[in-house]
Amino acid sequence: MSTTTSTNSDVLTVTAAAEARRSIRKYEPTPIPRAHLNEILRVTGLAPSPWNLQPWRFVIVEDAATKAKLQEAAYGQGQVGAAPAVIVMYSDMTDAIATVEETIHPGMRGAQGEKAAADIRATFAGFSDSDRSAWGNAESNIALGYLLLTAQAHGYSTSPMLGFMPDKVKEILDLPADSRIPALVAIGVAAEEGFPHHRHTVERIARFV
Ligand SMILES: Cc1cc2nc3c(=O)[nH]c(=O)nc-3n(C[C@H](O)[C@H](O)[C@H](O)COP(=O)(O)O)c2cc1C
């Protein structure tokens, strides 16, 4: 597993990225360099997850014909075809549980690591299939938040989407039948400003006790 750290001083702070981010549905056709996508995905993967299970997986769709199929599966949403890349984020709990030894921290090798792996597998054996996939989907949403902010921090806008037919997307990309798709994320250089933020005040959504 990688432990590389980004040192690019052009990268926005978390607060600056959150202030700047908005859903963008029109994009410049400029392709995104593979190194930038790799870095955005690496930082996204720093998201935390219970037991460090990291159930999120990604397919980065740049091929025009595949994007056209995805756009159809996303009810024709224009940003799918307009963006130079669409990141299909999915969670794969079957893979995450089968390969749990990869994600257990190296500090827990040996008997401690084996016990952790057995505990994790026993816990999920007690879940129904739908509860297990819902769990993976919920945890992958943490990484989705990281992805949106990280893209913005690196100068790329995004449009997260839940408006799509999951079975169609799985078929197009040959994703596992029991996977879940927290979002399709169009990504690229913005060709519009998007809408200004319209959010609840802190007083409306939080209380201090
Ligand atoms: C998980 C998720 C799914 C969304 N699905 C869609 C979608 O299918 N189509 C769309 O145009 N916008 C979609 N949005 C964008 C929201 O409408 C948008 O985030 C919200 O109105 C706030 O605006 P902002 O992103 O510009 O701050 C989605 C956002 C999220 C986080």
Domains and CATH numbers, the chain: 34-99+129-191 (3.40.109.10)
pLDDT of residue 91: 98
Lowest-confidence region among 33-37, 50-54, 72-76, 109-113: 109-113
Strand order in the sheet with 180-188: 56-61, 85-91, 180-188, 157-161
Query: Ligand 1, from 161, 180, 195: best to mutate by most atoms within 8 Å of Cβ?
Result: 161
Token output for 19: 């202030």
Nearest CA to ligand 1 atom 18: 23
Backbone angles phi, psi at 186, to 5 degrees: -70, 140
The predicted-structure confidence for 6-63, as pLDDT tens digits, reads as follows: 556 689 999 999 999 999 999 999 999 999 999 999 999 999 999 999 999 999 999 9
- Is residue 50 within 8 Å of residue 143, measured between CB atoms? no
pLDDT of residue 109: 75
Q: What is the mean pLDDT of residues 85-108?
A: 96
Number of neighbouring beta carbons within 10 Å of residue 199: 8
Is 113 near ligand 1, meaning CB less than 6 Å away?
Answer: no
pLDDT of 177 strictly over 70? yes
